[in-house]
Structure 1
Amino acid sequence: MEQTMRAVVLDEPGPADRLHLRVLPLPDPPPGWVRIAVRAFGLNRSELHTRLGLAQGVTFPRVLGIEAVGVVDHDPDGVWAAGQQVVTMMGGMGRSYDGGYAEYTVVPRSQIIPFRSALPWEVIGAVPETLQTAYGSLTTGLDLQRGQTLLIRGGTSALGLAAIALAKDIGATVLATTRNPARTTALSEHGVDHPLVDDGALAEHVRALVPQGVDAALELVGTPTLPDTLAATRVHGTVCFTGMLSNKWTVKDFYPIDYLPRGVRLTAYAGEAGDLPADVLQRSLDRIGSGELSLGPVHVYEFDDIRTAHQDLEQGRRAGKLVVRVGERGTEGTI
C-alpha cells in the first residue's frame, strides 16, 4: 500500500486560493482511532469560517473538513472490519486535527457511524452533517410535532432544505425563506407550503399567514435576523438558533428582557456524531434510495476543483449541498 495520500491543506486563513492540494504521509491511527478511506465529503459553513479566520481554536497548517464518508481502511484494535461503510463528522475534525478533505482521514472510533447503501458516494456524502443538524434541530431543539407551523429562515441552504424535508415528514406546515425571488418555485417544489422572499423584515408577512405567530422557527441566517424571527413566533413558541449563513453569531450587549418578546422561547442546537442515531441515518439513506425522501439538490465537484467549490459556497451560488468526490486510487469515478 502506498504510504502517501492527497489532501487539501490550508496554511493560513484567507481566500480560496489559500487551499492547496498536496501529497502528505498516510496517517497512522493510534489505539482508539480508525483510518477511513474517504470516498466523498460535504462542504459546510464551518469550513468556510475556518478558511476566513473566523473559527476559534484552529491550528495551521490544517486539512479542513468536519465530515466525510467512506470505508474503514484500518482499525488497529480490530473493532471495525476493513471495507465497512461509515460516516464521520465533528469532534474536532478539520480544526484540532486533520479532517475529511483528504483521501484518508483518521478519527476517534466513537465518532463513526456504520451503514449499508448502494447509493453513489457523492449522494451519501451530502447526508451526514446536514441530516444530523436538521434532525437534532427539529427534535432536540424544537420538539416539532405534527400539525404545528414551522418557519425556516434560510430555506435554500443545504441545512434548510434538509429541515424542510424532515419537517414535512413529521407533518408540519412549513414556511421557508429565500433572499432570491427566483428560488421560491424551488422551495414550493421541495414541499414548502408558504415560500417567502426575505427582505429582512419578515414577521409581518408571517403573521399575515399565521396571525398568532408560528409554533416553531429555525434560525439559519444568524443574529442579524434573529430579532425578526423571534417576532414572528407565537407566545410559548420556540426559536432554535442553529445556522450562521450571515457569518454573524453573537448578540452585542444582550439584554434578555429587551431582546426577547414576552413568552417566546429561544434555544440553540449544535450536535456531534453521537447525536445522529445509526437507525435514523440508515432509514434516511434507504428512503433516499427508494425516492421517498429528498434532502435537496446535490452539486458535485472533483477533488481538483476544491477552490471553485469553496468560492461557490462563499458566494451562495448554489442552492443545496456541495459535495466533493474522492475516487479510489487507480479510478476516476465513484464506487
Structure 2
Amino acid sequence: MANEPLPEKMTAIAITEPGGPLVLKPEKRDVPTPGAGEILIKVRAAGVNRPDVLQRKGAYPPPKGASDLPGLEAAGEVVALGDGARRWRIGDPVTALTPGGGYAEYVVVHESNALPIPHGITFTEAAAIPETFFTVWHNVFQRGGLRQGETFLVHGGSSGIGTTAIQLASAFGAYVLTTAGSAEKCAACLELGADRAINYRDEDFVRVAKEATDGKGVDVILDMVGGDYVDRNYHAAAMDARIVQIATLGGASATADYSRLMVKRITHTGSTLRPRSVEFKGEIAAELEAKVWPLLANRRIAPVMDMIFPLREAWRAHERMEEGDHIGKIVLDVA
C-alpha cells in the first residue's frame, strides 16, 4: 500500500526555554520523515512522564539524534513507512516508545519499538502503556529477576511506574508491597493487586516489610526515591536481594551502611531507558508482546488512567504531575 499524502506542517508542543509548565507552547513544525526501518505515526494520544518534566526544566536533555520535543510514548496509526520497514502496514494502530517527539501530531519511531494496540484498548489508554511497561519489565523482571513466589516492594505505588509494577508483579505471582503518600493512594494500590500498601507518612516501610515477610526482608525493591531511602532499602532487603534504582526524586546522594550490602549479598543496580539503543528497546518490546500483551488483551491488567488533557494544554498536564496528586497516568489527547 502506498504512503498516503501527508501535510507539510504539524502542531507540536515545544519547550521554549527551561522553566515551569508555561514554557510548553504549541508551534508549527515540519512533519518528520521516517528513515530506514522507521515508521511515521499519526498521533492520537501521547503519555506524560516524569522525564518530560525534567527535560522541560533543562535537567534531562534528549539523546543525540532524538527530537527536541518532549514525549516518550505515543499511540496512533501508521501513515508512512521508511525504507526497509516491513512489520507494519499503513493504517495499523500502534503504540510506541519514542526517544522524544511524542507531544506532536506526528512522530517517527523505529518499527521495532512499536507494538500493536491490544484488543479493546483505546488510543488514550494505549499511549499510557509503553514508557512504564518497558521500564518495569526491564528493571523488575530482567535486571531485578523477580520470580513467582518472591516478595516485591515498589516505592511510589500510585505513580504510573508504581501502578504498572504492582499489576505485573502480582500477575506473575509475587507478594507485593508498596509505599504511597495517602490513604486514597494506598487504597488504589490495594485494588490493583498490592498485598500490603504502606502510607509512608504514618508507617515505617522497613518495619512493615520485615513484619510482612516474617523478618526475612524483601527479595526485589524498585526505587525511584533514592536519598535516605537507600540505607532504609538495605535494612528492608532480604538475603541476596536485588534493588533497582530508576530515579532519585529524594536526592542523588546518600549515606548508607554498605556493610549491610555485603553481609546480605545485595545487588544494587540501576538504569535509564531513554539513551538505550533501538535494538535493546526492540528486544524489550518483543518480550512484552509475548508475555504481557495477552494480559492486556484479556484485561487481567490495564493502564491506570488519571487525567486526559488536550495537546495544546500540555502545560496543565505538567502542573498535574508536579502537584503529585495523580494516581496512574496522565495523557494528552492529540486527535
TM-score by length of 1: 0.85
Query: Partners in 2 of 1:316 and 1:121 — Cα distance?
Result: 24
Which residue number in structure 2 is paired with residue 233 of structure 1?
237
Which residue number in structure 2 is paired with residue 330 of structure 1?
none
8 A contact 1:148–1:173 mirrored in 2: yes
1:145-160 map, 5 Å: 145-160=147-162
Query: Partners in 1 of 2:236 and 2:133 — Cα distance?
Result: 25
Query: Partners in 2 of 1:128 and 1:229 — Cα distance?
Result: 27
Which residue number in structure 1 is paired with residue 170 of structure 2?
168
Which residue number in structure 1 is paired with residue 68 of structure 2?
62
8 A contact 1:19–1:307 mirrored in 2: yes
8 A contact 1:152–1:177 mirrored in 2: yes
Query: Partners in 1 of 2:323 and 2:16 — Cα distance?
Result: 22
Asked if 1:204 is matched to 2:207, the reply is yes
Q: After TM superposition, give the deviation of residue 47 of structure 1 in Å.
A: 0.7
Secondary structure at the aligned position of 1:162 is classed as: helix
Query: Partners in 2 of 1:190 and 1:241 — Cα distance?
Result: 22
TM-aligned CA distance change 1:110 to 1:236, over 3 Å: same
Aligned partner of 2:44: which letter? R
Deviation string, structure 1 residues 297-326 (Cα, Å, up to 9, x no partner): 342222122111011111212110111111
TM-aligned CA distance change 1:61 to 1:294, over 3 Å: closer
8 A contact 2:41–2:106 mirrored in 1: yes
Query: Partners in 2 of 1:257 and 1:296 — Cα distance?
Result: 37
Deviation string, structure 1 residues 225-273 (Cα, Å, up to 9, x no partner): 2221121001211111123444x3x336x78845836222212244453
Which residue number in structure 2 is paired with residue 218 of structure 1?
222
Deviation string, structure 1 residues 175-207 (Cα, Å, up to 9, x no partner): 111122332222221111111011495212321
Q: After TM superposition, give the deviation of residue 5 of structure 1 in Å.
A: 0.7
Query: Partners in 2 of 1:61 and 1:41 — Cα distance?
Result: 15
Deviation string, structure 1 residues 55-92 (Cα, Å, up to 9, x no partner): 146699931111212222111325342112223224xx
Asked if 1:297 is matched to 2:305, the reply is yes
Asked if 1:306 is matched to 2:311, the reply is no
Which residue number in structure 2 is paired with residue 131 of structure 1?
133
Which residue number in structure 1 is paired with residue 36 of structure 2?
31
1:252-271 map, 5 Å: 257=258, 260=261, 262-263=263-264, 264-271=266-273
TM-aligned CA distance change 1:212 to 1:285, over 3 Å: closer
Gaps of 5+ in 2: 1-5
Query: Partners in 2 of 1:288 and 1:58 — Cα distance?
Result: 30
TM-aligned CA distance change 1:213 to 1:256, over 3 Å: closer
TM-aligned CA distance change 1:170 to 1:32, over 3 Å: closer
Q: After TM superposition, give the deviation of residue 221 of structure 1 in Å.
A: 2.1
Query: Partners in 1 of 2:223 and 2:270 — Cα distance?
Result: 9
Which residue number in structure 2 is paired with residue 50 of structure 1?
55
8 A contact 2:118–2:296 mirrored in 1: no
Which residue number in structure 2 is paired with residue 76 of structure 1?
82
TM-aligned CA distance change 1:261 to 1:301, over 3 Å: farther
Query: Partners in 2 of 1:36 and 1:74 — Cα distance?
Result: 7
8 A contact 2:54–2:60 mirrored in 1: yes
Which residue number in structure 1 is paired with residue 3 of structure 2?
none
Aligned residues between the structures: 318
Query: Partners in 1 of 2:130 and 2:8 — Cα distance?
Result: 28
Query: Partners in 1 of 2:141 and 2:253 — Cα distance?
Result: 25
Query: Partners in 1 of 2:33 and 2:61 — Cα distance?
Result: 26
TM-score by length of 2: 0.85
Which residue number in structure 1 is paired with residue 247 of structure 2?
243
Query: Partners in 2 of 1:235 and 1:310 — Cα distance?
Result: 40
Over aligned residues, Cα RMSD in angstroms? Answer: 2.6
**Identity level (%):** 26
Deviates more, 1:226-235 or 1:216-225: 216-225
Of 2, 8, 14 in structure 2, the residue corresponding to residue 3 of structure 1 is 8
Of 89, 93, 96 in structure 2, the residue corresponding to residue 85 of structure 1 is 93
Aligned partner of 2:103: which letter? Y
Aligned partner of 2:232: which letter? D
Query: Partners in 2 of 1:261 and 1:153 — Cα distance?
Result: 23
